Structure 1
């Protein structure tokens, strides 16, 4: 038979069509559907470009070729030799029964000044006749017992990620809007974006199952119509009669398919953009905002008009104004960043698909962890690469300076203050703006921690913006609001230098053009791999049910606060659970938690291997670069992570015997033998601590038990007194150990995020039992001892390692306790006391009273002082910290340090690894 026009066109455009990126999941999904029955690809509107691309893809992957298209069919259908033109039903039947697939266009684009090439009629539905034919074919197949359903597959080609625009341009008038492009515009989109094309198959409709559902609905309606007590009997009977009409069924099927196509498209590009001034006016008409304005203005129109003008100016200063050209430019910048600065970016592909499904169902709220300014760029880059709509991002107003502010605004950022306290109008404007974003279907992104974490650990959640989002979501009864916890991680962070200065007491530098110009030197470094993982998605409906709020029920403030608090802690827990264990975090933990001056490479490998096995048993996710599919650790990953730190100056690599001269040190930097020894300079420990803290939450439960066990067995008493020799090695009872762990967990309740799904007693029981099963501890009746160990390490070694993970935190709290002695003379502001503590910590480290230089850390000391207030050692009075009455003497205040020192070994040497 002669070649079809599509074959010739595909050959002409083969260079382009061959480079269309295709997700393997799409191919596998279509093959699975082909195995279940004939496939009909359903596209929203007539498009020759889409038809040619689909024809090329079916050939490229060996899928059933296209044999029918209800519009533009001559491009893919074999020429008919009969003088009688076959009907659409005959043509589609011939194609599907012959093992081919079909294409069904549902809609034609709106009228344009320039006509579509070819004589295509307008003003009628393009899919009704083929759908009625498919319904008839499905009934015949079901009656004949052939069993296979015809599979209607909603198919979306995204040639450009530019969303629709409600403002009609001259280009749209001539060549069709972006969502309904004509052939000329579509061809231009293909040529410009074919390397970035996205192809998605929506949820298929099984035609046999659809007919069965309609039959069930018809029978139920007839039953309801014959019941005298049934309400709406006449309406039910009319429905039952209409359900037998194929024209009615075709319209219902069309609506179902269009809805699935629209959900898929919205998940990819988001809602159509409105002009900025229109958005402002819609926000200003918010009833809640207007109520606040009237309340603040009082009687008279003059005050109300002034407040409306102020609200309009506020909106103009905070509002996002996404611009596709800017987003495309930033994508190119992110591509460069990803290829030159990072060795790679690991993305949770299963998590991405969960986000896509949530975006199909309704509005999504993205809640990433916040460790770096790169988070903004990386988040949008990953979403764009996976054809998901880009969010509008809540950013601090400290980033609104020129030229970054206008750029971020066009990238989708809206700028808000860190605090709304005392400004009801500002809070009401932000609230109304967020309500409008959710109502319009935008994805929203903000950092629940508020600011960047300087320690590597997650910060406690800030509830202000989350409360606004939840309140707005509760007002949208018919929309599903999904909250997506996201963990973003780095082996090294670009801001590590500034973080080290701040952690050691330096003043945080305000973002400015001057700081921006310094980024050139930062970009010359290599920062290993970045990663993005997604936790369990939480819906607002699920959280409502968890706190006992029925659908449609008014939500009192107390219950809303409970809902927001519960949601925040669930999100933070999911971030921790999704955090990826990387080679860099393992190497940092091993280097910081051993007690000798240097660590040989062979021992580093052994320690990382033990840690990898442990963390996998605890359910942690591991980076693809760290482990093989079998779960075994890759030794090369550890070496590469160690070399990353060596090249960055965080770790020194020594070749035994000749590393004392400068020339030898240069040789050591490129030496790769197994006999190298790694050391960590004291000034670099605080930087490695950032990487260690990324996974510290996975070990903290065991670390608390181990610290308490060692303190009772081999250390000092809780008040700091040295024990009598006969008591020094007495192991604790289970009750004694539990009580000490309880005291530690109370002390650290602001430092770590403990599990919120169980009480302390349950967590202690589960953790101690797991440690006993692993051979780390043993129960001898009611007494707790060291266990036999495992993997070449005895029980005392495991317990010592866990305790070493917490040592720098205990030492930091001891520093804060020592500094609190100065309060005997009078109160100090927190800033003054923290500064004093940092000086005291430096003296204690140089005097060998503490071992870890990373203990001299501003955030740790701030958390310690907050814990002392919570414990009742200190209190806040007129903006100052003062000693509580029972600790206001020199002798009493010393007991605070004594209690903390009681958990510390005099030396960590010979403990652990």
Structure 2
């Protein structure tokens, strides 16, 4: 009676209609707290590709984030970062008491409303039983649940309350709008997890679920690199539709929990890579393999001394090959590369949409990156892009020519493993190398290799090699990996750092061997600017799916897959202003040109590229500006010179010295594959004495040229010659370069065609000259 009077005096019976809970953060922090949180969380980044999807889900239904483990710091981080980014941010954390982080007035409201409820009911209010959580979800309030929560489970078990996911399923049944459960994780450190623990893990919690002390230390040490990522969202409404109406909710909740946890763990593997074994552990796996021990015993011929020597040799082979992955080296190298790119390049232009697809496919299998190879820095560029965008850095197949001190040690620590150019007859070396690659795939490590083998010296993609691909296919066939996801990539440079050495090699000079002295001499490269770097990704594809669509024998599969990878790289090769202008000059203005003439030729080529939806650099959206800027750049590089009219009235005449044309050839060759079919047809149309060229004659000429250059260009063997020729003729017909005679069905060239077809024919001129 006395307590009731006291509550009336305090006005606490006003809370009978509304109960406050300590699980809610929905206030704008005060000035000091706002400043502190901004300082703490401002460097934390999140997956940009999910922003629009999160907003879309929020418009359509209720967003519920799902973290694997409960944590105060994680909730604060999600709440304030998403709020600052204008994303749906969690206002409620299920069963997580946030009393220390809410305003005093809210604490008072919680205490008084709970006390009032207790007086009236003899127990404290439950947010499940009072409908607090249910109303919040039905009203679209963004929330946060925890999938692995021992404290929460104990409370639910004692109070007979529903599991979070079971509760959400029950609530979804009463809602028209969907509930989207979005798995998420926050990583404070990008170091791969190891498969062994130490004393620190026992005392302060394992890295997968660090204790309060460890998590706090991790945050304050690594908050600048902290990253929030998301797994695959789950639509509960769609999920319920797919289930039997008689299936128990607790079974569905258990299945969903496992799916969400697997999604979070998989996303962690995408960023951190698989749980990592030490180099010594991998060495044991490789050297104890039955095939290697059998090969050693076979070569020893029963001689114990030879057996010991061969075992030592196998160990030396492993040490010669194997990477020694070290995240400290990688992060330090990233800092150095950041400085390096800014020093000599004008930026790295990355296909972010393509990279987002790579991230999605990384959840499905082991990634195999297959980039083009034009420079020694290709693998540095690709790894830099992946690491900067929170994707695990692959192990990189490198030639032993890069194993010189000290770079060999640094590259090895950054994930490179080294392969000899040739090991014919070295059966034991071949077995050790093959088993090492299989061990990497077995552990789930992504791999990067160059399908061309060595670097391209002339700018175009060289014919694919199948040696390394054979090892990968054998590993897949022998069950060392469930699937391989191939990621073709193209790396395009405005200017190659090794350009001068390539030109010397093309001129007949021997290739210089890479060594420390050469690296020291390369300091002069830092004084130059090399324009932009462009990185593009083809749609990844599954080896399992690829194999399901073919019935070729193993050798045929290897050859076709290599060709498919080469075609994929070519398909995404970006046309830059430099490559386009170089192509225009060499096709129509080898002796010189005025600006207006170059602009006209460029426009002809651009219309062709646009018609076939060939990828263009953004700067080509303004062709006139691109032509002028590129011309200025080539003049600065002393590739192009010019003559001004003495009276200053006429147009400036530009020309290229004969010895500088090879530099332009290099840039032209990077996109030559787009023009080759049309060049072959143009050559056919312009050759011969017939007044009208028959379709059969054009097809025969095309077939001859394709066969002649079969070792020069990568052709699509699945595309018929007749279909290709007809397609090209249609383009030339639409461009008014030719018309079909009514008399014999042959094709005659128009006046416009005589003006323009030589441009197309000239594109293959240097290759014809070198073959004839």
TM-score (norm 1): 0.75
171-180 or 483-492, larger mean C-alpha shift: 171-180
Deviation at 1:319, TM superposition (A): 0.6
2:582 maps to what in 1?
Answer: 588
Work out the CA distance in 2 between the residues paired with 1:125 and 1:285.
50
Contact kept, 8 Å, 1:547 with 1:562, in 2: the verdict is no
2:114 maps to what in 1?
Answer: 82
Deviations 1:663-694 (A, max 9, x none): xxxxxxxxxx9944332122211111110001
2:685 maps to what in 1?
Answer: 709
1:696 maps to what in 2?
Answer: 672
TM-aligned CA distance change 1:193 to 1:125, over 3 Å: farther
Work out the CA distance in 2 between the residues paired with 1:656 and 1:478.
68
Instruction: Please point out which of 783, 797, 819 is paired with 2:755.
Output: 797
2:92 maps to what in 1?
Answer: 68
Contact kept, 8 Å, 1:526 with 1:644, in 2: the verdict is no
TM-aligned CA distance change 1:206 to 1:491, over 3 Å: same
Instruction: Please point out which of 170, 177, 182 is paired with 1:139.
Output: 170
Deviation at 1:89, TM superposition (A): 2.9
Work out the CA distance in 1 between the residues paired with 2:480 and 2:279.
26
2:734 maps to what in 1?
Answer: 773
Instruction: Please point out which of 355, 358, 362 is paired with 2:361.
Output: 358
1:639 maps to what in 2?
Answer: 628
1:668 maps to what in 2?
Answer: none
TM-aligned CA distance change 1:130 to 1:785, over 3 Å: farther
Instruction: Please point out which of 592, 598, 602 is paired with 2:592.
Output: 598
Contact kept, 8 Å, 2:441 with 2:480, in 1: the verdict is no
Deviation at 1:26, TM superposition (A): 2.3
Deviation at 1:281, TM superposition (A): 0.5
Instruction: Please point out which of 567, 573, 576 is paired with 2:570.
Output: 576
Query: Does structure 1 residue 612 correspond to structure 2 residue 601?
Result: no
Contact kept, 8 Å, 2:286 with 2:436, in 1: the verdict is yes
Contact kept, 8 Å, 2:61 with 2:140, in 1: the verdict is no
1:465 maps to what in 2?
Answer: 468
151-160 or 398-407, larger mean C-alpha shift: 151-160
Instruction: Please point out which of 35, 51, 63 is paired with 2:75.
Output: 51
Deviations 1:614-639 (A, max 9, x none): 11212311112222xxxxx4422222
Deviation at 1:69, TM superposition (A): 1.9
Work out the CA distance in 2 between the residues paired with 1:642 and 1:174.
65
Contact kept, 8 Å, 1:402 with 1:513, in 2: the verdict is yes
Query: Does structure 1 residue 759 correspond to structure 2 residue 720?
Result: yes
Deviation at 1:640, TM superposition (A): 2.2
TM-aligned CA distance change 1:46 to 1:465, over 3 Å: same
Work out the CA distance in 2 between the residues paired with 1:747 and 1:129.
79
1:556 maps to what in 2?
Answer: none
Counterparts of 1:502-581 in structure 2, within 5 Å, are 502-548=505-551, 559-581=553-575
Contact kept, 8 Å, 1:601 with 1:674, in 2: the verdict is no
Q: Which stretches in structure 2 are left out of the alignment for 5+ residues?
A: 1-19, 119-123
Contact kept, 8 Å, 1:346 with 1:624, in 2: the verdict is no
Contact kept, 8 Å, 1:346 with 1:623, in 2: the verdict is no
Work out the CA distance in 2 between the residues paired with 1:478 and 1:433.
13
Contact kept, 8 Å, 2:26 with 2:91, in 1: the verdict is no
Deviations 1:16-69 (A, max 9, x none): 323433444322121111123221111122333321111102321344443322
Work out the CA distance in 2 between the residues paired with 1:674 and 1:281.
76
Contact kept, 8 Å, 2:156 with 2:163, in 1: the verdict is no
2:142 maps to what in 1?
Answer: 101
Work out the CA distance in 2 between the residues paired with 1:279 and 1:678.
60
Contact kept, 8 Å, 1:26 with 1:199, in 2: the verdict is no
Work out the CA distance in 2 between the residues paired with 1:175 and 1:679.
70
Contact kept, 8 Å, 1:163 with 1:269, in 2: the verdict is yes
517-526 or 81-90, larger mean C-alpha shift: 81-90
Contact kept, 8 Å, 1:297 with 1:304, in 2: the verdict is yes
Work out the CA distance in 2 between the residues paired with 1:459 and 1:535.
18
Contact kept, 8 Å, 1:394 with 1:415, in 2: the verdict is yes
Contact kept, 8 Å, 1:271 with 1:442, in 2: the verdict is yes
Deviations 1:833-870 (A, max 9, x none): xxxxxxxxxxxxxxxxxxxxxxxxxxxxxxxxxxxxxx
Deviation at 1:467, TM superposition (A): 0.4
Work out the CA distance in 2 between the residues paired with 1:467 and 1:596.
43
1:200 maps to what in 2?
Answer: 229
Deviation at 1:526, TM superposition (A): 1.4
Higher relative contact order (CA 8 A, sep 6+): 2
Deviation at 1:395, TM superposition (A): 0.3
Deviations 1:350-376 (A, max 9, x none): 211221121101101110010001101
Query: Does structure 1 residue 158 correspond to structure 2 residue 183?
Result: no
Instruction: Please point out which of 245, 248, 257 is paired with 1:244.
Output: 248
Deviation at 1:141, TM superposition (A): 4.2
Contact kept, 8 Å, 1:267 with 1:356, in 2: the verdict is yes
Contact kept, 8 Å, 1:366 with 1:485, in 2: the verdict is yes
Instruction: Please point out which of 295, 299, 305 is paired with 1:296.
Output: 299
Deviation at 1:309, TM superposition (A): 2.5
613-622 or 335-344, larger mean C-alpha shift: 335-344
Contact kept, 8 Å, 2:366 with 2:484, in 1: the verdict is yes
Work out the CA distance in 2 between the residues paired with 1:153 and 1:295.
56
Equivalent pairs counted in the alignment come to 730
TM-score (norm 2): 0.88
Work out the CA distance in 2 between the residues paired with 1:698 and 1:407.
38
Deviation at 1:596, TM superposition (A): 5.5
Counterparts of 1:277-292 in structure 2, within 5 Å, are 277-292=280-295
Contact kept, 8 Å, 1:626 with 1:634, in 2: the verdict is yes
RMSD of aligned alpha carbons: 2.9
Work out the CA distance in 1 between the residues paired with 2:63 and 2:395.
37
368-377 or 616-625, larger mean C-alpha shift: 616-625
2:699 maps to what in 1?
Answer: 738
Contact kept, 8 Å, 2:274 with 2:445, in 1: the verdict is yes
1:323 maps to what in 2?
Answer: 326
Query: Does structure 1 residue 417 correspond to structure 2 residue 441?
Result: no
Instruction: Please point out which of 196, 218, 239 is paired with 1:210.
Output: 239
Deviation at 1:595, TM superposition (A): 3.9
Deviation at 1:642, TM superposition (A): 2.1
Deviation at 1:745, TM superposition (A): 2.0
Deviation at 1:135, TM superposition (A): 2.8
Work out the CA distance in 1 between the residues paired with 2:204 and 2:233.
31
SS of 2:504's partner is helix
Deviation at 1:188, TM superposition (A): 4.3
Work out the CA distance in 1 between the residues paired with 2:228 and 2:566.
33
Work out the CA distance in 2 between the residues paired with 1:598 and 1:125.
83
6-15 or 365-374, larger mean C-alpha shift: 6-15
Deviations 1:189-220 (A, max 9, x none): 4445444433222111222333343426x6xx
Query: Does structure 1 residue 33 correspond to structure 2 residue 64?
Result: no
Deviation at 1:258, TM superposition (A): 0.5
Work out the CA distance in 1 between the residues paired with 2:730 and 2:591.
34
Instruction: Please point out which of 634, 653, 656 is paired with 2:645.
Output: 656
Instruction: Please point out which of 759, 764, 772 is paired with 1:806.
Output: 764
2:13 maps to what in 1?
Answer: none
Work out the CA distance in 1 between the residues paired with 2:156 and 2:341.
46
Deviation at 1:104, TM superposition (A): 1.7
